Amino acid sequence: MSTISAAAIAAAAARIQGSAVRTPLLDVSRQADRPLRLKCENLQVTGSFKYRGATSMITSLGSGETGNGVITYSSGNHAQAVARAARARGIPAVVVMPRTAPAVKVEGARAHGAEVLFEGTTSTERRVRAEQEAARRGLTIVPPFDHPAIIAGQATVGREIMEDAPAAARVYVPIGGGGLLAGVASAVKQARPAARVVGVEPVGAACMAASLAAGRPVTLESTASIADGLLPVRPGDLTFAVVQALVDEVVTVEDDAIVHALVWLCRHAKVVVEPSGAAACAAALAAGPAPGNGETVAVLSGGNIALPALAELLGSGAGPTSDRPR
């Protein structure tokens, strides 16, 4: 599979309609001194784009697949999304989270009715535990990124971008396991082949860049970044294939650039995001204007951050020039 078809994306859009919200495409060109718009998935149900994919897949399951409930493995945002989508359908949800998961995301999953289990610190450890629990309890796995229905759900982000900014020259998308990037690239490239799609990873968690360099999905020994939602050690097989076929470039950003973007977004765009949600904006600000002064879009993938953590990051970005675009 090298793309998610327009028909599959349209079907996913129909499945999530009435559940997921159509998030705004915020124009911050004046603040950024360049044409720049922000796709605000931090305003999505459960605070991240993940609700689109979770709803897309869970609503596509038959009753025989949901009788005992569903299970997923996630650092936090997908866990909350699966919990909320499962509750909307009236089925139990179990989520396997890392021992290092932020409390705000654990509490969010529980608030939506999920049973939370903790396992290890890597995506591989969580996946193995989820597979064991699924086999033991007869649960259906709703993976965080590597499934056609999940990717099609995330592709609705790109579909909306193209409807609201059909002449966009560049679209920056953060990368965890690659589901959002694969989906957005599928939608954008089918609507506007000339648009440049750029994936963004933290320097300390660049599994997609490593995989593209190797020509196949590879597993990193470990990952580390302030962007806790972008830490999978390996991209998905499906997501890698789509990214390899469609994405123009994958770039990396340092953690200090992510913090700079988070502070800039809060102070100048009046938008609150988590570090993972600021990564694409960090790359867009660093890159400067698109050729020909074309419009750039950056996807803000999530906004689930505890207020004390936000206050600490805003304090760390204080200074006379640290909050200006660079």
**Coil, strand, or helix at residue 166?**
coil
- State the catalytic residue, choosing from 39, 48, 50, 211: 50
Non-local CB neighbours of 92 within 8 Å, separated by 6+ positions: 68, 69, 70, 86, 113, 115
Non-local CB neighbours of 107 within 8 Å, separated by 6+ positions: none
Measure the CA–CA gap between 215 and 236, rounded to whole angstroms: 13
The pair phi, psi for residue 300, each rounded to 5°, is -90, 100
- In terms of DSSP bridges, do strands 36-40 and 70-73 run parallel, antiparallel, or are they unpaired? unpaired
- State the catalytic residue, choosing from 19, 123, 276, 301: 301
Q: Is 301 a catalytic residue?
A: yes
Matching residue, tokens 């390899």: 244
**Coil, strand, or helix at residue 40?**
strand
DSSP string, 68-118: S-EEEE-SSHHHHHHHHHHHHHT--EEEEE-TT--HHHHHHHHHTT-EEEE
Matching residue, tokens 């400067």: 288
Task: Give helix 237-246 / helix 179-191 axis angle, nearest 10°.
Answer: 40
74 closest CA partner among 112, 41, 17: 112
Measure the CA–CA gap between 26 and 42, rounded to whole angstroms: 12
Which are the catalytic amino acids? Answer: 50, 301
